[in-house]
Amino acid sequence: MHPAFSVVFFTTATGAGYGLLALLGVLGGLQIIPPDFWLALIGMGLALGLIMAGLLSSTGHLGRPERAWRAFSQWRSSWLSREGVASVITFVPAGLFGIGWVFFGRSGGWVAIAGFLAAIGAVVTVCTTGMIYASLKPIAQWHSRFTLPGYLIFSAMTGSVLLNALLQAFALGSKTLLAASVLLGLLGWGWKLATWRYNDRLEIPTNANTATGLAGGTVRSLEWPHTEENYLLKEMGFRIARKHSARLRRITQGLAFALPVLLLAAAFALPWPFAVLLSVFAAIVQFAGMLVERWLFFAEAKHTVTLYYGR
């Protein structure tokens, strides 16, 4: 599948943004994170900024972005529509929580309820994003039980690493959150390895025989219907990254999981100024690593239409 940068950035940014929003909503609302104006402002700004940048980026993928409002109508059947609806609804409790927590410096009561609802909205939205991919039967690498948990784990992982960097910068870092970030990094790493292992061993029942209805023997593509690459091959037959998948997998593992885990483990042991630098660096490195991971998620996905082209 062609990894459109707008979509790669969208899923990475909103994943991190919703993860951070959910954590802020719960931890801020329950006053586990003390209400500090600048911390709250920057935290909510970062979470909502990532979400809005991602959502705006996703409209860049559209042929007719001016009609994007129509995408809120088909929530009864379409995961993409449900994602749109969930993302917009989440802004309501997130906005209320932001006003109460950031500007009134309050927690508990209605602020806690709004924060909790924002966290639920964030989780639901990430689920709908995952289901867009998990529901597509023609792409076996996506239509698997690994896709939806993957989106949730990576959202929690990137969100917690961001929150840790933020709290460290305000000298409010907690060992518990650091430990949680390290564990989520390891969980994400394990999940990604398990996903790759599953995909590499995938036995797809669909092949050139079932695609053409020609039973038995071998079906070899003799001639394409066209001499140049068409929309189908450009969109669904993308192959550049597949060629480099082994190297890109190593880059993903290094940037998205191994390096952040090591940096955070080091931050665990080191005092204040170093812990801040390492935590912020870990968040930046992980974001870059997740962009590579998402690029590979698209590039390694093989659509059944490529069977018609002998690919």
Partner 1 sequence: MTCLPSQSGKKLGLVIDLDTCVGCQACVTACKEWNTGGHMAPLTDIDPYGGHVDGVWFNRVHSYEHTTEVGGRTVNFPRSCLHCETPACVTVCPTGASYKRASDGIVLIDEDKCIGCKLCSWACPYGAREFDRDVGVMKKCTLCVDRIYNDNLAEEDRVPACVAACPTSARHFGDLGDPASAVSQLVAERGGVDLMPELGYHPTNKYLPPRAHTKRAASVAAPALEPVRPEGGFLGWVDRMLSN
φ, ψ dihedrals at 301, nearest 5°: -75, 130
* Structural contact between residues 257 and 192, judged by C-beta atoms closer than 8 angstroms: yes
* Structural contact between residues 305 and 138, judged by C-beta atoms closer than 8 angstroms: yes
Q: Interface mask (CB under 8 A) for partner 1, residues 188-217, using x and -?
A: -----------------xx-x-xxxxxxxx
CB 302 → partner 1: shortest distance, Å? 12
Does residue 304 touch partner 1 according to CB under 8 A?
A: yes
For the segment 79-108, give every residue that binds partner 1 (CB under 8 A). 79-81, 84
Does residue 49 touch partner 1 according to CB under 8 A?
A: no
Phi-psi region of 201 (alpha: psi -120 to 50; beta: other; left: phi over 0): alpha
AA identity, residue 77: S
Does residue 222 touch partner 1 according to CB under 8 A?
A: yes
AA identity, residue 34: P
* Structural contact between residues 215 and 209, judged by C-beta atoms closer than 8 angstroms: yes
Stretch that binds partner 1, among 29-37, 92-100, 227-235, 248-256 (CB under 8 A): 227-235
* Structural contact between residues 196 and 246, judged by C-beta atoms closer than 8 angstroms: no
Q: Interface mask (CB under 8 A) for partner 1, residues 122-161, using x and -?
A: ----------x--xxxxx----------------------
Q: What residues contact residue 104 under an 8 Å CB cut-off, 6+ apart? A: 111
Q: Interface mask (CB under 8 A) for partner 1, residues 237-276, using x and -?
A: ----------------------------------------
Residues that bind partner 1 (CB under 8 A): 1, 61-65, 67-68, 70-74, 76-81, 84, 132, 135-139, 205-206, 208, 210-232, 235-236, 303-305, 308-309
